[in-house]
Amino acid sequence: MEREAGPVGARRALGRLVEAVLANRGKANAVFDILAVLQSEDREEIQEAVRACSRLFGALLARGELFVGQLPSEEMVMAGSRGATRKYRVWMRHRYHSCCNRLGELLARSSFQVKELALSTLMKFVQLEGEHPLEKPKWEGNYLFPHQLFKSVVGGLLSADEDHSLLLCQFREYLEHDDIRYHTMQAATDAVARATDGRPEVPLTFWNNAFTLLSSVSLPRQERAPSSFYVKHAELSDKWKVVHLREHRKAFQQMWLGFLKHQLPLRICKKVLVITHDSVLPHLAQPRLMIDFLARACDLGGAVSLLALNGLFILIHKHNLEYPDFYRKLYGLLDPSVFHVKYRARFFHLADLFLSSSHLPAYLVAAFTKRLARLALTAPPEALLTVLPFICNLLRRHPACRVLVHRPRGPELDADPYDPREEDPAQSRALESSLWELQALQRHYHPEVSKAASAVNQALSEAEVSIAPLLELTAFQIFERELEKKGPEPVPLEFIPARGLLGRRADLCAQHFTLS
Amino acid sequence: MGKARSAGARGRAPGAPAGARGGRARPSANPFEVKVNRQKFQVLGRKTRHDVGLPGVSRARALQKRTQTLLKEYKERDKSNVFRDKRFGEYNSNISPEEKMMKRFALEQQRQHEKKSIYNLNEDEELTHYGQSLADIEKHNDIVDSDSDAEDRGVLSAELTAAHFGGGGGLLHKKTSQQQGEEGEQPKSRRELIEELIAKSKQEKRERQSQREDTLELTEKLDQDWKEIQTLLAHKTPKSESRGGKEKPKPDAYDMMVRELGFEMKAQPSNRMKTEEELAQEEQERLEGLEAERLRRMLGKEEDEHIKRPKHTSADDLSDGFVLDKDDRRLLSYKDGKMNVEEEPSGEASSSESKEEEGKGSSAGDPEESDGPDSPSGLESDVESKDESERTQEERRPNPGERSTADDREAARAELPYTFAAPESYEELKSLLSGRSMEEQLLVVERIQKCNHPSLAVGNKAKLEKLFGFLLEYVGDLATSDPPDLGGIDKLVVQLYNLCQMFPEAASSAVKFVLRDAMHDMEGMVETTGRAAFPGLDVLIYLKIAGILFPTSDFWHPVVTPALLCLSQLLTKCPVQSLQDVVKGLFVCCVFLDYVSLSQRFIPELINFLVGILYMATPNKQSQGYTLVHPFRALGKNSELLLVSDEEATATWHRRSLPLQWAGGLKAQTETEANHTRLSCLAVCLALVQRCVTACGTLPSFHDIMRPLRTLLTEHLAARSCPPELQELSRSILTEMEKQPKYYRPLVCEKSKPVPLKLFTPRLVKVLEFGKKQGCTKEEQERKRLIHKHRREFKGAVREIRKDNQFLARMQLSEIMERDAERKRKVKQLFNSLATQEGEWKALKRKKFKK
C-alpha cells in the first residue's frame, strides 16, 4: 500500500480503504491497514484513523455484519469448518474488539483532541451496539446494553495518571441521558472498587477524576415519565431497571458509599463535603448511611468538620438521626482560626442555623456566646462585624442568657468563672460569667466595631439583626466602604506641626527605627 | 354688601342697642324681623357670625341702595347729555357757606376782570399807586406781603376768624365783656364795631407798608454803599469777594503745624506687645482648645450629639408629629433702662461660637484668615508672612538695577531659577527635581509653593493641590528606590504637612488614593494566590505620613480610619516569610500603636502579630494556651525564623534601633549580622509587647487578651537563650502583666429611660381663613388663601349681579305696567269723552226730535 504524505493524503487513503472494505468482503484485510494507522504516533494520523474506524465499524454495526453472541476464539473459528460468512463475522468482530481496546488506550493517554475524538467514537459505538446488540437476548424484551464496552470507557475516564477534568466535562452531556447515567454509576462503582482493590496508595489524580465524575452525576428530583435514552429503543419496558428512579437512587447510593468508604485525601474530602448537603444527600436512597463518612469527617477537625456539620445537621433535622454530641462538636470547632478560614461565611451561616432554635438550653447558648466573645478578641474587623451582631442575636433569642450582659447586684469577681479549656459546654460555667470581652471591644479601633460592641450597653432591641448581608463582608469591602463615606467638612487636620518622618515627640517608630 | 355691613354692626354690639352707631340711629330690631340661625351644638371658641340676622332690614337697605345707584343709571341710560354742576364747592361740605360765597364772588370777579372785551378800549390803561397796579392792590388786599404777614398772623387770624366767621355774635359778646369796664354802659352797635375794626386794620396796614418801604430804601442805600466799597476791595483777593465780608486770618505756622499733625498718619491702637509668658500661655490655651476638640472627635461624641440630642418636647406632647413652628419668643431684658432684644438664644450662640472655633482650628494655615497673633495658626501665618516678605524680596532680586546683598549661600544657589511653574504632571515634577541634591529639591518645592501661592492668582489653588499628589507620588518613588532616600522623605514630609494644612480636602483625597491603590494591589494578590506579600516600603511610608498629616485619635476620620484598616490588613493577610518581612511587620506595628497612642484603642490583630513573632523566636514550643492565627503557622519553614542559637552572636549583640532601610531591602548579611538583626527584631517586639501591656492595661478582659503573650513569654524565658538584656525586659513585662488588677465586675446595662405616658392636651391648629387645610408651606397657604378669597369674591359678585338684574327686571315690569295703566286710563278717558259726546249728541237729537 502506497502512502501519501500529509494528513490530507492519509485521509484519502483511509477513505479509500474504508470504501473498499465496506464494498467488498474480499478486501477485508484492509482493516489491518486502518488499525495500523491507529497505532501511529502522529496526532493527525491517529485522528484520521479514528474517524475512519468510526465510519467503518459504525456501518458494519448498523448492517449487522458483526458476529452476535458468545464470541469464540479466532483460531477455533478459523480452523473450524463453518461457513465463510460466520468466519468473516467472527473475524470482523475480533477486529472491532481490538479497535475498541485501542480507543480505550487512546482515551487514557494522548492529547486532548484525540481523547475527545476517541470518547465520541466510543460513545457512538455504545449507541450503535445498544441498538444492534452483539449478544443474543435471553428472553423476549431483554434489556441489553454494551456493559463491557461502557465499562472500558468509564475505566478510561477514571485514569490514575492524568487529570481528565476537561474530558469529564465533555462526558457530562452524555449524563443527561438516563441509561448512560445509570450505567455510568454502575461502571464507576466498579471502577473505584477495582482501582482501590488491594492497592494501598491510590494517586490523587484518580480521586480527582472520580470526584469530578461522581459530582457531575445529578439525579432528577422526581420521576419523569418520558425518560430520555441515549440508546434508542423501540419501546420501553417497565421491567427494565433503568427506567425506575428508585434503581437510579440505589446505584447512586452505591456509587457514593463505595467512593466515600475509602480513605480520601483531605482536599477531596472538603470538596465532597461542600456539595454533600445539596447534591448528594437528597438523592440517596438511605441518607443515613452517610453518617459514617460524616462522623469521620467531623472528627478530623478544622474546616472539614465544620463542613461535615452541615450534612450532619440535615441528617438530624430531616432524617431523625440521633447524634448526641452535635453541639459539643460544634462548640469544639470554635477556635481562633474560625475567623480566618475561607469558610467563615458558611460557618456562621450554619452556626446561626444550628443555634436558631429557641429550645436550646441556656447554658449551651451562654457557652457559645462566651466562647465567641472570647474568640472575638483575636478577630479581624470584618469578622467582628459579623460576630458581634451574631452574639447580640443569640442574646435576643435566649432571654435567659441576658445575664451575660446585665447582672445587677452581682458579686464582684476576681477571675472569670468561664473556663475556656473545658470542652463540654455544660461544664464551662459560662452562665456565671459576663461578656467583658465586648466591653473590651468597645475600645476597638474601628468605629463600626466599637459601635456594634456598644449595642449591649443598652437594653437590646427586640428585633433580631439579620447577619446574612454581613457574612460575605471582606476586609477590602470594609476598606472601600470607609473610603466612600463622606466625612465632615472640612477634613480635620493634625495640629502638631510635622518635623519629619519620625520627628514627633514620643513617637514609637522613632524609638525603634532609624532613618539611616 | 349691605348684609356684611349689618353683620359688622351686629358683631360690635349685640347687647348694646343699635343706638351706638352715630349717624343712623336704629331702633331696636322688630322681633318679627329677626331671624335666628339655631345652633345644634355649642362649640367652644367658635365665632358664630351668622347666628342672628335681619333679612328684612338688609333687603330694604339693598333695595334703597339700588334705587339710588342702579335705578338712576337705568333711567339715564338713553341720555347722552349730562348735567354738570360746576358751581364752586357745591358738593364740598368742608367749606362753610360764607366762605363758599366769598370764593365764588372772588372767582366771578376774576372772571369778569380777565375777560377781555374787544370793545373795552381802556383795558390796557392801568392805574397805579406807588408803582403798583391799583387793581392788584384791590384784589389781593389780604395777601399783600407774605413776610410782614407772617409775624402777626396768629393774632390777626384769631381775631379775624372770630370777626368773620363767628357770625358776629361771639365777637359782640366778647367785646361787650371787654369793654364793660372801660366805657361803661355805652355799648356800640355792630356797625360801629365793624367800622372801627376796619379802620384799625387799615391803619395797621398803612403802617406796615411804610415800614417796609423804609427797609427797602435802607437796603437800597446799603447796596449803593457796598458798590462803592467794592471797587476798593476788587484789587485784593478775588476769592474774598465770594467769602463776603468775613476775612479769614492768614494761617500762621502754629496752625499749619496743628493741621499737619491732624492729618498725619496716626499710629493705630494695637494690642500691647506680649510678654513671653503670655505668648506661651496663649499657645498653651490654643493647644488646649485644639486638644479638647480632638478629644471630642476621639470619643465620637459629635455624631451622637447630632443624632441623639433629644429635642425638647413638652410633657404633653402627643408625639403625633405635630410641631409648633420655631419658638421665637425672646427673653425680655433691660439694659441701661432700655429694652434689650436678644438676637439669638444663648444655646445657638454658643454653638455658633464652637463652630467658629472649629473653623479656626481647621483653617489653620489659611493665610487670608489668620493674621491675628492669637489665631490658632499663628505659627503658620508667621511662616506665611515671612514667605510673603521673602517672596517680595525675591521678586525684587532679579532686578538688575538693584544692588543685591547676596551672601555666599545665595551665590551658591544662584544657578537655581527663582520662579517655577507649578508642575502639571508627575513627570514634570520629576524632571524639575531630578539631578538635584536634596537641599535643592527642597528649595525647588518651596519656591514652587511660593510662586504659586493661592493668594497670587486664581488657578494656583488647583495647581498646588495637584502638587500635593505629585509630591506624595515622589515620596513613594523615593521610598522604593534602592537604597531608599529616607532623608529626603523626612524633609519632604514638612512640605507635605504645610500643603496639607492649606488644602485639607485635596490632601485627604490624595492620601486616600494611594492607600486605595496599595490595598487594591493586595486584594488582587489575595484573590489570585490566597495570600499577599508585604507591600513595599512606600506603602508603609504612606501610612506613616497619613498619621503625621491627620489626627489619628478621631473616632472616625475619612483618611485615618481607612489607613487603620489598611494596617490591619497588612498584619492579617501577609505571612511573614523573611527577616525583611519581620522588620516591615514590626514597623507596621509601631505605626499602628502610634495611631492609637492617644486614643488608647484596642487592636486584636496587633496582639496576634506579636504573638506570631514571639512564637518565631521561641524554642521548644509546647503550644499550649495559645493559638496562632492566620498569617502564622505553628509548623513550617518560617516557624523558627527568629530563633538564635548562636552563643557568640548573643554575646556580642547590642541593642540598637532598626534601620528603616531594611524594610526596603535587606542586604546580604553574614550569619552573625543576621543573628544580630534577629535579636534586634526581638527586642523591638518585646518593647512593643510592653507598650501593649501598658496600653491595654485598663481593658476589662486584659488577662484574656494577654494570655497567649504571657504563655509565650514564660516559655521564652524558660529557654534562656536570649541576651540578658532581653531576658530582663521579658521579666519586667511579665511582672507588669501580673500587676494589672484582676477584678471582674458584672456587666450591667444602662437603664433606659421609661417612655413617658401619653397625655392628651388639645392639638392646636391655626384656623386659617380658608379652612383647616394645614401642613403646607407658607407660600402654599398664602396661595390657597388667595384662591379662596377670589372664589368668595367671585360668588359675591355673581350674586350681586343677579340681584341687580332682578331689580332691573322688576323696575322694567313696573314701568311697563305703569305705561299700560296710563294707556288704559287714557283710552278710558277717550271712551268717556266720546260717550259724553255721543250722549250729548243724542240728547241734542232727541231734543230736536222733540221739537
B525 touches chain A (CB under 8 A): no
pLDDT above 80: residue B669: no
- The predicted pLDDT at position B841 comes to 92
- The predicted pLDDT at position B395 comes to 43
pLDDT above 70: residue A370: yes
Give the integer Cα–Cα distance in Å for B625 and B465.
53
Interface of A with B in 426-445 (CB under 8 A): 434-437, 439-441, 443-445
SS3 A410: coil
Q: Alpha-carbon Rg of chain A, whole angstroms? A: 34
Give the integer Cα–Cα distance in Å for B554 and A315.
51
Sorted by sequence, the CB contacts under 8 Å of residue B645 that are 6+ apart come out as B619, B721
b/e for B153-188, b at 16 or more Cβ within 10 A? eeeeeebeeebeeeeeeebbeebeeeeeeeeeeeee
Beta-carbon count within 10 A of A114 CB: 19
pLDDT above 50: residue A435: yes
Q: What is the pLDDT of residues A439-493, one digit of tens each?
A: 889 989 998 999 888 888 887 777 888 888 888 888 888 888 888 888 777 788 8
Q: Could you tell me which chain B residue has the CA closest to the CA of A432?
A: B746
pLDDT above 60: residue B311: no
Least confident of A380-389, A471-480, B801-810, B837-846: A471-480
CB contact under 8 A, A336 and B490: no
A299 to chain B, minimum CA–CA distance in Å? Answer: 19
Q: Alpha-carbon Rg of chain B, whole angstroms? A: 55
B593 touches chain A (CB under 8 A): yes
Q: What is the pLDDT of residues B150-198, one digit of tens each?
A: 444 444 555 555 555 555 444 444 444 444 444 445 666 788 899 999 9
- Average pLDDT over every residue of B134-152: 53
Residue pair B706/B742 in contact (Cβ under 8 Å)? The answer is no
- The predicted pLDDT at position B218 comes to 93
Q: Could you tell me which chain A residue has the CA closest to the CA of B594?
A: A508
Interface of B with A in 360-419 (CB under 8 A): 361-364, 376, 379-380
Contact residues, chain B, for A488 at CB < 8 Å: 302
Q: Report DSSP letters for A432-476, one per residue.
A: GS--HHHHHHTTBSSHHHHHHHHGGGSPPPSSPPP-HHHHT--HH
> Of B262 and B341, which is predicted with more confidence?
B262
- The predicted pLDDT at position B148 comes to 45
SS3 B68: helix
Q: Give the HSE-up count for residue B74: Cα atoms under 13 Å, Cβ half-sphere.
A: 15
Give the integer Cα–Cα distance in Å for B381 and B498.
11
Helix pair A245-260, A178-196: axis angle to 10 deg? 20
Mean pLDDT across chain A:
79
Q: What is the DSSP letter of A409?
A: T
Q: What is the pLDDT of residues B264-309, one digit of tens each?
A: 766 666 667 777 778 878 888 887 888 788 777 777 765 444 444 4
B747 touches chain A (CB under 8 A): yes
CB contact under 8 A, B747 and A414: no
How many separate helices (H) and strands (E) can be counted in chain B? 30, 7
Q: What single letter denotes the amino acid at residue B720?
A: R
Contact residues, chain B, for A340 at CB < 8 Å: 572, 629-630
A9 touches chain B (CB under 8 A): no
B287 touches chain A (CB under 8 A): yes
CB contact under 8 A, A512 and B659: no
Give the integer Cα–Cα distance in Å for A383 and A347.
12
Assembly ipTM: 0.75
- Average pLDDT over every residue of A303-325: 81
Give the integer Cα–Cα distance in Å for B472 and A103.
65
Q: What is the pLDDT of residues B771-785, one digit of tens each?
A: 666 667 788 888 888
Q: What is the DSSP letter of B129?
A: E
Identify the residue among B297, B629, B753 best suited for mutation to test binding to A, counting A beta carbons within 10 A and taking the highest: B629
Peptide bond into A490 cis (omega under 30): yes
Interface of B with A in 183-212 (CB under 8 A): none
Q: Please provide the size of chain A in residues.
A: 516
Nearest by CB: A512 against B630, B684, B702: B684
- The predicted pLDDT at position B163 comes to 52
CB contact under 8 A, B744 and A439: no
CB contact under 8 A, B505 and A490: yes
In Å, how far from its chain's centre is CA B247? 56
pLDDT above 50: residue B394: no
Residue pair B538/B573 in contact (Cβ under 8 Å)? The answer is no
- Residue B795 burial (CB < 10 Å; 0-12/13-18/19+)? exposed
B577 touches chain A (CB under 8 A): no
B705 touches chain A (CB under 8 A): yes
Contact residues, chain A, for B659 at CB < 8 Å: 513-516
Contact residues, chain A, for B524 at CB < 8 Å: none
Mean pLDDT across chain B:
74
- Please list the residues that pair with B133 across neighbouring strands: B128
Q: What is the pLDDT of residues A374-398, one digit of tens each?
A: 889 888 888 899 999 999 999 888 8
Residue pair A188/A213 in contact (Cβ under 8 Å)? The answer is yes
> Of A85 and B703, which is predicted with more confidence?
B703
Least confident of A353-362, B296-305, B530-539, B596-605: B296-305
B671 to chain A, minimum CA–CA distance in Å? Answer: 22
Residue pair B687/A512 in contact (Cβ under 8 Å)? The answer is yes
Nearest by CB: B700 against A436, A447, A497: A436
Interface of B with A in 92-131 (CB under 8 A): none
Residue B582: C-alpha distances to residues A509, B657, B682, B688 (Å): 15, 14, 9, 13
pLDDT above 80: residue A256: yes
Identity of the highest mean pLDDT range in B259-273, B409-423, B830-844: B830-844
- The predicted pLDDT at position B632 comes to 78
- The predicted pLDDT at position B342 comes to 43
b/e for B756-793, b at 16 or more Cβ within 10 A? eeeeeeeeeeeeeeeeeeeeeeeeebeebeeeeeeeee
A433 to chain B, minimum CA–CA distance in Å? Answer: 8
SS3 B456: coil
Residue keyed to cell 470507557: A153
Residue pair A401/B732 in contact (Cβ under 8 Å)? The answer is no
Residue pair B573/B585 in contact (Cβ under 8 Å)? The answer is no
A410 touches chain B (CB under 8 A): yes
Interface of A with B in 286-345 (CB under 8 A): 335-337, 339-340
Residue B222: C-alpha distances to residues B215, B228, B234 (Å): 10, 10, 18
Give the integer Cα–Cα distance in Å for B706 and B696.
9
pLDDT above 90: residue B339: no
Q: Could you tell me which chain A residue has the CA closest to the CA of B602?
A: A444
In Å, how far from its chain's centre is CA B665? 58
A505 touches chain B (CB under 8 A): no
B727 to chain A, minimum CA–CA distance in Å? Answer: 18
A377 touches chain B (CB under 8 A): yes
B420 touches chain A (CB under 8 A): no
pTM for the model:
0.60
- Average pLDDT over every residue of B806-816: 94
- Average pLDDT over every residue of A235-245: 70
- Average pLDDT over every residue of B70-80: 87
Q: What is the DSSP letter of B125?
A: -
> Of B843 and A26, which is predicted with more confidence?
B843
